[in-house]
Amino acid sequence: MDKQRAENAVRELLLALDQDVESEGMKGTPERVARMFIEQCDGSEVELDAVFPSTFEGMVIVRDIPLVSCCMHHMVFYSGRAHVAYIPKGKDVLGISKLARLVSSCSKGFTLQENVTQQIADELYGGVNILGCMVVLEAEHGCMCLRGARTTGSSTVTSVVKGVFRDVAAAREEFLNLVSKGGPR
């Protein structure tokens, strides 16, 4: 990535918006904003190969995984949480930190929440020997707060269901009960 070019672009945007980039409060802003976007776009893929032998036969859920991404339509951040579940197939379970890393990796760059949800589910279901997975993302979008509807406090919820979670209603219901406000915390 070209940090200097990004910095110059931010400076030009601020000047186009009639901002004094030399004022005390704005000094360094182009560099900080460029660095922020470079960090957001600097993603690395997660290897889902850290499996551990186990006799576990139930559902694995990691809920309330922090999620931060940047809307590709407005370049404004959205944040919230992800809930990810899977049911192992065979004798191996995935290292649970891999689920949080997968959420973070899929959230990099300029994204749509719907696509992030799909990508997490696709990579998990396609990358590990599991019976099924379910991914739910809840996020508040900065673009909804700052422009257009100017709605604060609303959240967008997206979900993707694969395998046994799609085919067996009881599995979906168990997951939803466990991640809902009424489930154990």
Report residue 149's pLDDT band, with 50, 70 and 90 as the boundaries. Answer: confident
Whether 110 and 72 have beta carbons less than 8 Å apart is answered as: yes
Share of the chain above pLDDT 90, in %: 74
Beta strand residue intervals within the chain, DSSP E? 51-53, 60-71, 77-88, 92-94, 110-111, 130-141, 156-163
What per-residue confidence (pLDDT) applies to 122?
97
Average pLDDT, rounded, for the chain: 91
What per-residue confidence (pLDDT) applies to 44?
76
Q: Tens of pLDDT along 16-28?
A: 999 999 999 999 9
Where do you find CATH 3.30.1130.10 in the chain?
Answer: 51-179
CA gap 78, 69 in Å, rounded: 6
Per the rule left: phi > 0, alpha: psi between -120 and 50, beta: everything else, 116 is alpha
Biggest alpha carbon–alpha carbon distance for the chain: 63
Beta strand residue intervals within 89-124, DSSP E? 92-94, 110-111
Average pLDDT over residues 26-39: 94
- Is residue 43 classed as helix, strand or coil in its secondary structure? coil
Residue 164 pLDDT more than 70?
yes
* Residues constituting the chain: 185
User: What CATH architecture is 51-179?
Assistant: 2-Layer Sandwich (3.30)
Read off the DSSP letter of residue 148.
T
